[in-house]
Amino acid sequence: MYNLIEKRPDPSKEFLLVRHGQDNDTLDTNLNQPLIPDSINQIEGIVSRVKVIFSTEITFTVVYGPSKRTSQTAQHLAGTLSKFGYNLDLQEDADIKEFYQGQFHVDHSLLTNGRYVPLETAWEIFNNKILDGQIHYRFGDPIVNTDGEPTFPLLQSFFIRYGESQSNFLVRIRRFISRVNNDQRLPNNLLVVVTHQAVASRIQREITGERIQLGYCEGVFVPYPDI
């Protein structure tokens, strides 16, 4: 893997993985906020680097997750590329949506320095379950025991609906990788995947065993699995 300025990739062998632009840091029950205005400059920064690497003979297939921040990033990216004469194809794909954290109550009295304690607690529990090999544990599940008492009481009062499990997350990421790997790849058609940090990290790990931490609107070229 390498970043956008190191060398020109071969679109038949590699695709471009991009993290979405910065969104509003507003806590709500579905964590689905639109981009902030400054993200437009971030997106145009990607376009300026792409223009250095690729001529307008290249067609871009831009695939993105269904959230506001990924769809807005993809649409503005495509629109800007189109202005410079590039051919575009936009596709939404639910398999690269953000990790689903369920639905939960929002209590702003528990928000401290931008940190929402119940959600952080849920993540700590979830990550510990993964480390213990319990990949079928659903995010936010308080695990009610046979005596009716929850193992994690805070989660029981906090979550309205539990999130997904790590196993479910892996299934859809691997399904997406398999699908794009089996699609026809041409030297003049570059696949651009616009998604979230957790998804981008998992895609990299599944293919190469390592990952590059991406900032907002940063991209990295990743080889197809069969290369």
Q: What per-residue confidence (pLDDT) applies to 108?
A: 82
Please state, in angstroms and rounded to a whole number, the distance separating the CA atoms of residues 5 and 218.
12
Q: What are 102's two structure tokens?
A: 């369920």
Identify the H or E element spanning 16. Answer: strand 14-19
Which residues make Cβ contacts (< 8 Å) with residue 169, sequence separation at least 6? 99, 202
Q: What per-residue confidence (pLDDT) applies to 103?
A: 93
Q: What per-residue confidence (pLDDT) applies to 112?
A: 82
102 phi-psi bin (left φ>0, alpha ψ -120 to 50, beta other): left
Q: What are 39's two structure tokens?
A: 């993200």
* Residue extents of the structural domains in the chain: 14-26+33-98+188-223, 103-162
Cβ burial 203-225 (10 Å sphere, 16+ → b, else e): bbebbeeebbebebbbbbbbebe
- Residue 150: CA atoms inside 13 Å, Cβ hemisphere, count? 12
Range 14-26+33-98+188-223 has CATH code 3.40.50.1240: yes
Please state, in angstroms and rounded to a whole number, the distance separating the CA atoms of residues 13 and 207.
13
Spell out, as residue ranges, where the chain has pLDDT lower than 50.
Answer: 1-2, 5
Q: What per-residue confidence (pLDDT) applies to 1?
A: 42
**pLDDT tens per residue, range 215-224:** 999 999 999 9
Q: Length of the chain, please? A: 227
Q: What per-residue confidence (pLDDT) applies to 38?
A: 87
- Which residues does residue 189 pair with via DSSP β-bridges, in sequence order? 59
Task: Give pTM, 2 decimals.
Answer: 0.92
Identify the H or E element spanning 118. Answer: helix 117-131
